[in-house]
Structure 1
Amino acid sequence: MSKVCETEKGLKGETKRDTWAKKVDFAFSIAGGFVGLGNIWRFPYLCFKNGGGAFLVPYILFVVLGSLPVFFLEVSVGQYSRCGAINAWKIVPVVKGIGIAVNIINYYLNVYYSVILAWALRYFFASMASELPWSTCGNLWNSNSCYVFGAKEFVENNLTGITANESRISSVVEYWERGVLGRSKGIEVAGNIQWELLLCLFLTWLVVYFCIWRGIGWTSKVVYFTATFPLLMLLVLLVRGVTLDGAMDGVVYYLKPDLERLKDVQVWLDAAAQVFYSYALCKGMLTTMGSYNKYRYNSYRDCIILSVLNSGVSFISGFAIFAVLGFMAKEQGVHIEDVAESGPGLAFIAYPKALTLLPMPQFWGCLFFFMLFLLGLDSEFVGQETLMSAFVDLRPKFFRKPWRKEIALAALCLTQFLCGISMVTQGGVYVLNIFDRYASSGWCMLFISFFQCVAVSWIFGINKFWNRVCEMVGYRPFPYIKYSWSVLTPIATSVLFVTSIIYHKALTYNKTYYYPDWSVAIAWMLAMSSMMWIPLYAIYRFAIAKGNWRERLTEITTSEYDDSTRVLDDDESTTTDSEEIRLSEKAGSESPNFTGLDVASMYFDHDNDPEKAESQKLFR
């Protein structure tokens, strides 16, 4: 069954949009999509870097002010419009550029995310060797400065001040930088393709393709395994980690609050970026997954539960990671700061170091890197499903014919695989760092979130949309969400966006390599390539509108979505009271648009608000 963005819902002769076979499919798909690698390596590092337990203060604040309201907003827009991200914003035509922007970010994210999955596969296969390749020197990739981490002579040197090893490089670091990446001196030196990584990248895209090639029904079955099995493995690693000698030192370091760090602006920016990144906001995924819900579905409940799950996994993964780091620090007689790494180094340097000190290192290595691969895999194929849905929504009749969708999906995967080749060269890690820092950066997400909230609250009409939300979930959610959409979240995202630009730091890799100017220019072009579509499309839409400026403004702010038959698409509509349907249709037909002149009446003049009156009848 084709996933089609319906023009007239529920009318005979029209192909209906796919819906989840079971209600739980939505929750599993969202959980698989946004619980990923960022929860495992990014959150624990940012937590200890920014004051330990003190970091949780801005983190929780931004979950409440930013991620939860935007999360529920994106899901609600998809559920209401029954369209993927590319067409969902027809409810506010002037900001349809949001649909283009989020899909561009999603494309970039899928390209470099697949490379990280290829790294995980590379380590997974390497862990099957009789001897872990990063646990020895004397290999082809090792230099004369190599030393074996955990060797007796290294421990003795630590006890006497580490003077003998200050200029030496761990075998684990050399395996990562020389054996896996073959890292060159800079982005200007592309070097050769790392063929092992290329094969792992190809295998990654092959798995992604066959996870989603049969549509959302097939994807919802695959995600049962890919969303739950990694969490079980994380629990196994957590139990193993906290039983190690020195584990509590790592946990204390992870959680010990340093309230002085809250005075640092960068702490707040890191918290905001982590929240938006880990919740998969502004990538079109949540809107697309929400569009497969039936119109009458309690997505509000699921969003609350999934938010707790996402942040909970981040928090628990910190225990699993830092328990092992505490063990490793005590084993070597060094401070935890000397063994903790940032970004991918936490997964591909620090943890492999710890594996060399554990019994049965091959087993734990396979377990850990298979967990990393599965955590990223479901995020990858849910993101790819979102992209494919955009093409299907744009040309629904074209994709109704057999095998066209499967062929288009193969072509899409191929283009992203070809783009990813630039990241598996010897200079590829510098390219990936640009994509991570700019193409799908925090300020892009803040920019888009601001316009999403403004479009729904101040153009479509906060009261009208809130009544639709109440109608969809079956009751009135906590009103804080409504006022977050209209006031709190727009203010928070705009302030953070401006602050992040003001405090922007030069692009570096490992704080030692500074990118040349031409590469920084490319990085900014990548960032602008998504954000620019929102103002550009608004200008274009105004230019092609007819009439004087007032008539044009009315046209581009009036919803193109006819929701008068919105409830007829649900199977449950046959059991809906006829009077309720009549009231819903009446409420939908009035569709008032609010302008800046109507702000006060939007909140205070409820007696003259037909939407308010009808909603009170529905949910009294």
Structure 2
Amino acid sequence: MSNIKIQDSRKRKQEMCSVLSTVSLTDESSVHKSTAGEEETLTSEKPRLHWGKQIEFLLSCVGYSVGLGNIWRFPYLCMQNGGGAFLVPYILYLILCGTALFFMETAIGQSTGLSTIRIFSMIPFFSGLGWCMVFASGILSIYYNIIVAYTIYYIGMSFNWVLPWSHCDNEWNTPQCFSFSGNETNNQSLHGLSTGVRRTAAEEFWRYNVLEISEDISILNGIQWKLLLALIAAWILTFVCMCKGILSSGKVVYVTATAPYIFLTVILIRGCTLPGAWYGIKFYIVPDWNRLKSIDVWISAATQIFYSLGPAWGGLITFGSFNKYTHNVQRDAILIPIICGSTSIYGGFAIFSVIGHLMYATGTNDTEQFVQQGPGLAFIAYPQALTMLPGAAIWSVLFFLMLFTLGIDSQFSTLEAVTTGLNDRFPRIVGKHRMLLTLVVCFVEFLLGLILVTRAGFYYFELLDTYATAFSVVVIGFLETIVISYLYEQIVGSNCSTRNQDFMFS
């Protein structure tokens, strides 16, 4: 019996090795074959597509990794965790963990030419890992696109020369509303009211116009049609960007991955020329070294690396699988994390320079009054700060266009992991109907996201953002690292692994 097990183990090892060796012994356009158990399913598979140019892979990874979290999460973490001192664990994790994870995922995708589901099916015990990545990316895409919808709505409202969140004379404003431009209120004076119940005009616009938020998560109160239209537009744009897979998305990223840097630079230059900009920048960069003694600071830095670079979601493996076998992925694994980390730091200066001007104009040193995490920064604090600038509508359009481009390329890049995974797993069913598969996936995710445009939708958004994927992706990443770095060697064998790596990186 033991001899039979040994023979089965050797046979399995030979099959696994042949999968990886096939790539190096055949033409780059050949189909990467899977193990014997999948051969019948994959007989009709077409040759693997490759990126048109190497720059398309680079820009796609930048668009995937550099997202809204770099703008609305990183500055908040810096402020809460010691300012410049937070950069120490962040840069350390970026070098030691971020680069390694990025290289591991893109290299395994490139060496096999397979997406997540197919790769982990090589090891039956962990075959569910690939499906977990697909499901995690699918769930993320559901609520990530509602953020894109918010930015679309804000862009539309920014074309009013007098921004609706700059004053308290709107029908949705309450008696507690006040504006920094003149401290005016809607309907009555604030004299005698407790300062604890006062809300800025930007906050009331967010709560009572955009969200029309209900009092409880159980009170849906119907669909908001303005957000529904914005969500439809977001999903249509997502489908258009990825309707032909990397043939279309690889071209779109020339705009979506580079435009945010143009907008960010313009906003940074304007912000740094404003009076009081240094007040905000000081809170951002002046270090509090004592904060490094707290384990929470180190956990926050590690979590930010995980969220910004995007390992364990399947996107990096998917993008790597479209590389030519001899592509220099080692270079990209160093360059892209550096770009991602630098963007976070660069964006922090743009955010805090304008926040500093708002502090100067209002005569307060309380940054926590203005700097909030997540949507609070992007849709309340920063829009309020922009109302203090001459030509506020123009700066508002630029800011939300930047958020839109950051969001849309992260969105279709994440969804690419879902569609490519399904396409590779069911090639006979999908066949030549890749565009139809993309349409079906987008439509299903749109339907699942309809609850997010109800008046209780933001409660569900926060639930999904906090609990649906955060912990699960950490577990996926941990198991993925074990499978690829240890079990891969044990099952496939060091000789096969080394031979394929030497060929690929030569």
| TM-score (structure 2 length as normaliser) | 0.87
Moved more, 135-144 or 207-216: 135-144
- How many residues are treated as equivalent by the alignment? 462
**Secondary structure of 1:135's aligned partner:** coil
AA matched with 2:472: C
| Aligned equivalent of 2:458 | 429
2:111 maps to a residue whose letter is Y
**Unpaired segments ≥5 residues, structure 1:** 155-160, 475-620
**Is 1:447–2:479 an aligned residue pair?**
no
Q: Which runs of 5+ in 2 are unaligned?
A: 1-28, 36-41, 186-190
* Alpha-carbon distance in 1 for matches of 2:356, 2:447: 40
Q: 1:71 aligns with which of 96, 102, 110?
A: 102
Structure 1 partner of 2:263:
233
1:92 aligned residue (123, 131, 137): 123
- Runs of 4+ aligned structure 1 residues displaced above 4 Å come to 11-14, 161-166
Letter in 1 for 2:280: G
Q: Does 1:40 align with 2:66?
A: no
**Candidates 62, 76, 86, aligned match of 1:31:** 62
User: Any idea what the Cα deviations from partners look like across 1:183-208, whole Å, max 9, x if unmatched?
Assistant: 12221222222211111001000000
Report the equivalent of 2:133.
102
- State the match for 2:220 in structure 1: 190
- Whole-angstrom CA distance in 2 between matches of 1:49 and 1:420: 32
Cα pair 1:4 1:396 within 8 Å, conserved: no
Aligned amino acid, residue 462 of structure 2: N
CA RMSD across the alignment: 2.3
Cα contact 2:224–2:454 (8 A) shared by 1? yes
Q: Is the 8 A contact 1:4 1:18 kept in 2?
A: no
Distance 1:57 1:130 in 2: 42
Q: Verify the 8 A CA contact 1:146 1:169 in the aligned structure 2.
A: yes
Tell me the equivalent position of 2:51.
20
Deviation of the 1:228 alpha carbon: 0.4
Task: Say if 2:387 is the partner of 1:359.
Answer: no
Letter in 1 for 2:335: I
Q: Which residue is 1:119 aligned to?
A: 150
Contact 2:44–2:428 (CA under 8 A) maintained in structure 1: no
Question: C-alpha deviations, 1:317-336, integer Å up to 9, x for none?
Answer: 00000000000000000122
Aligned pair in 2 of structure 1 residues 12, 166: CA closer, same or farther (>3 Å)? closer
1:468 Cα deviation from its structure 2 partner:
3.0
> Does residue 468 of the first structure (1) align with residue 494 of the second (2)?
no
Instruction: Quote the sequence identity (%).
Output: 39
Alignment partner, residue 307 of structure 2: 277
Following superposition, the deviation at residue 124 of structure 1 comes to 0.5
Structure 2 CA distance for aligned equivalents of residues 187 and 4 of structure 1: 52
Q: CA deviation at 1:91?
A: 4.0
Residue 147 of structure 1: which of 164, 175, 178 is its match?
Answer: 178
The Cα of 1:12 is off from its aligned counterpart by 12
Bigger RCO of structures 1 and 2 (CA < 8 A, at least 6 apart): 2
Question: Any residues of structure 2 matched to 1:242-257 within 5 Å, and which?
Answer: 242-257=272-287
Q: 1:146 deviation in Å?
A: 1.4
Q: Following TM superposition, by how much is the alpha carbon of 1:472 offset from its aligned partner in structure 2, in angstroms? A: 1.4
> Do 1:5 and 1:83's aligned partners in 2 also have CA atoms closer than 8 Å?
no
Q: 1:117, 1:204 within 8 Å by CA — same for their partners in 2?
A: yes
Q: Which amino acid aligns with 2:488?
A: F
1:455-481 per-position Cα deviation (integer Å, ceiling 9, x unaligned):
12221118454553332122xxxxxxx
Shift of 1:14: 6.4
The answer as to 2:426 corresponding to 1:414 is no
Query: Is contact 1:54-1:257 (8 Å) kept?
Result: yes
- Separation in 2, partners of 1:125, 1:152: 26
Instruction: Give 2:157's aligned amino acid.
Output: A
SS at match of 1:220: helix
Using the TM superposition, give the Cα deviation of residue 69 of structure 1 relative to its aligned residue in structure 2, in angstroms: 1.0
Match of 1:490 in 2: none
- In structure 2, how many angstroms separate the alpha carbons of the residues matched to 1:350 and 1:5? 51
Give a deviation string over 1:533-561, Cα, whole Å, max 9, x none: xxxxxxxxxxxxxxxxxxxxxxxxxxxxx
1:584-595 pair list within 5 angstroms: none
Cα distance, 1:385 vs structure 2: 1.6
One-letter code aligned to 1:76: A
TM-score normalised according to structure 1 size: 0.71
Secondary structure of the structure 2 residue equivalent to 1:133: coil
